[in-house]
C-alpha cells in the first residue's frame, strides 16, 4: 500500500494505491495519523481509485480516522471508490458516516 498526500489549507488529500489489508494496516494507520496529527486539519479526503483490495483491517483503519476527525469536528470524504470496495462500504454503512465524492479530487476542490 502506498500513499501520496497533499495539503491545501485544512484539507488533506491522500491517494491510496495497492492493498489495504491486515498485512499493512498498522503502517497505513500510522501514515494517515501523521497526516491528520495537526489539529488544524479538518478534512481528510481518501482517494480510493487505485485500491485493489480491502479487508476488515482496512475498514478499521478508515473507521478509526473517521472517529478521530469527527471527535474534533472534522470529516472524512471517500472518493473514487472501486466497485467491490463500494459494495463493502454500502453494506457496512460507511457512506452514512463519511462524505462521498464521485470523481478525482485535488486538495483545492470543494465538496
CATH code (residue 73): 3.30.750.24
Q: pTM for this structure?
A: 0.88
Whole-number pLDDT of residue 2: 94
Does 66 map to a domain?
yes
Whole-number pLDDT of residue 65: 97
* pLDDT in single tens digits along all 111 residues of the chain: 999 999 999 999 999 999 999 999 999 999 999 999 999 999 999 999 999 999 999 999 999 999 999 999 999 999 999 999 999 999 988 988 888 865 555 545 554
Whole-number pLDDT of residue 104: 56
Helix axes 25-36, 56-71, angle to 10 degrees: 20
What phi and psi, each to the nearest 5 degrees, are found at residue 38? Answer: -70, 115
What phi and psi, each to the nearest 5 degrees, are found at residue 80? Answer: 55, 45
Does 111 map to a domain?
no
Domain range for 92: 2-101
Instruction: Please state the domain count of the chain.
Output: 1
Decide the pairing of beta strands 11-20 and 2-8.
antiparallel
Amino acid at each position: 500500500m502506498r500513499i501520496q498526500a497533499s495539503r491545501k489549507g485544512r484539507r488533506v488529500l491522500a491517494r491510496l494505491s495497492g492493498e489495504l489489508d491486515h498485512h499493512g494496516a498498522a503502517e497505513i494507520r500510522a501514515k494517515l495519523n501523521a497526516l491528520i496529527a495537526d489539529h488544524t486539519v479538518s478534512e481528510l479526503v481518501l482517494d480510493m481509485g487505485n485500491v485493489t483490495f480491502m479487508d476488515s483491517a482496512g475498514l478499521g483503519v478508515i473507521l478509526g480516522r473517521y472517529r478521530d476527525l469527527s471527535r474534533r469536528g472534522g470529516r472524512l470524504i471517500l472518493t473514487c471508490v472501486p466497485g467491490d470496495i463500494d459494495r463493502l462500504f454500502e453494506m457496512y454503512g460507511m457512506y452514512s458516516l463519511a462524505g462521498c465524492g464521485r470523481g478525482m479530487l485535488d486538495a483545492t476542490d470543494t465538496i
